């Protein structure tokens, strides 16, 4: 079964090398010619010292594959989805947030669609080098389509380095992860702190908890249960800098639209803390770019 992985970011590189390691046939699709060339020449280096030779192509050169695993950011899906619809292959989406769910629904795919939340920690060092910073599992769920295909894919992907958890309810795993993300990502970026500070500092914790309450209410989950889950993830990742914090530090576009933006779009009542943080991140994105121009 030929696997196409779309996206050459940290999760794309990590997934590609872990699947090759356990014997899968993998092609990785990237946006830039330069990254394609480097991977084809040197393979992917999974630190400290495992190199995996993997066929790399441009996203514009999509082959027939038996399944596509889409690891790009949600804001990079535009344009890609209609191409994927034409392939008729099953698709596995691994984006943060839930913005991609709206995107997927708007396309009306006919093929089997899986979604997953990824608990692996990964850091991209350069175009062909990735560090596996935290072992986790992939929570895999059927969004629509063929249930036996879903089981086949799970068996195909599962391995010692790539454990799979079959999650019966796609909405629940994405919603729970979204709540974690809407608390941790914007707040660590605004306050420029590691994850652990969110509960070590009682004033940030007050903001974090209120944000969790608002998000749980939008998504219809139990606020206290989700707050316990958010606190657990904060404890487990207390020494990490969140992906959004790293993005704002490095003046890169953030995933704020897929995370806070999704909740603002789907809120029926008032969600002022999510709204404040949303505007704060959007303004930081603009300020950082202004700084770049000024420099």
The residues of the shown chain that bind its own copies, judged by CB under 8 A, are 190-191, 193, 197, 201-204, 206-207, 210, 270, 272-273, 275-277, 279-280, 282-284, 286-287
Q: Which of 176, 177, 209, 238 is catalytic?
A: 177
Asked if residue 148 lies in contact with residue 176, where contact means CB atoms within 8 angstroms, the answer is: no
Q: How far is the CB of 283 from its own copies (least distance, A)?
A: 4
Give, to the nearest 10 degrees, the angle between helix 202-219 and helix 223-236: 130
Contact residues for 110 (Cβ-Cβ < 8 A; gap 6+): 85, 88
Tokens 């950011």 -> residue: 73
Of 133 and 199, nearer to its own copies (C-beta) is: 199
Q: How far apart are CA 267 and CA 121, in angstroms?
A: 30
**Active-site residue, 177 included:** yes
Question: Closest by alpha carbon to 11, among 60, 64, 76, 62?
Answer: 76
Helix 223-236 vs helix 170-191: crossing angle, to nearest 10: 60
Token code pair at residue 129: 């080098």
Asked whether 181 and 175 are in contact (CB, 8 A), the reply is no
Nearest alpha carbon to residue 52 among 108, 118, 132:
132
Element (H, E) at 116: strand 113-118
Distance (Å, whole) CA 103 – CA 170: 16
- For its own copies, give the closer residue by CB, 59 or 188: 188
* Cis before 41 (ω within 30): no
268, two tokens: 């029926």
Q: What count of Cα atoms within 13 Å lies in the side-chain half-sphere of residue 81? A: 19
Catalytic residues: 177
């Amino acid at each position: 079964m030929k696997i196409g992985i779309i996206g050459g970011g940290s999760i794309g590189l990590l997934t590609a090398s872990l699947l090759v390691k356990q014997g899968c046939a993998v092609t990785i699709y990237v946006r830039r010619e330069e990254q394609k060339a480097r991977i084809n020449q040197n393979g992917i280096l999974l630190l400290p010292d495992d190199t995996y030779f993997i066929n790399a192509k441009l996203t514009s050169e999509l082959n027939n594959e038996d399944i596509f695993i889409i690891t790009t950011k949600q804001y990079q899906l535009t344009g890609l989805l209609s191409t994927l619809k034409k392939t008729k292959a099953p698709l596995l989406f691994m984006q943060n947030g839930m913005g991609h769910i709206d995107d997927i629904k708007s396309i009306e795919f006919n093929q089997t669609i899986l979604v997953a939340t990824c608990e692996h920690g990964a850091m991209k060092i350069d175009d062909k080098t990735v560090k596996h910073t935290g072992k986790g599992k992939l929570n895999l769920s059927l969004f629509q389509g063929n249930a036996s295909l879903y089981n086949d894919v799970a068996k195909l992907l599962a391995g010692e380095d790539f454990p799979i958890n079959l999650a019966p309810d796609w909405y629940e795993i994405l919603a729970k992860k979204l709540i974690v993300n809407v608390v941790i990502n914007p707040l660590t970026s605004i306050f420029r702190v590691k994850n652990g500070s969110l509960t070590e500092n009682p004033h940030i914790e007050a903001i974090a908890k209120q944000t969790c309450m608002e998000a749980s209410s939008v998504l219809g989950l139990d606020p206290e249960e989700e707050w316990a889950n958010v606190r657990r993830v904060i404890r487990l990742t207390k020494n990490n800098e969140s992906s959004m914090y790293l993005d704002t530090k490095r003046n890169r576009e953030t995933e704020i639209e897929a995370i806070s933006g999704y909740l603002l779009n789907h809120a029926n009542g008032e969600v002022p803390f999510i709204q404040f943080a949303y505007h704060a991140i959007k303004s930081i994105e603009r300020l950082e770019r202004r700084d770049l121009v000024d420099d």
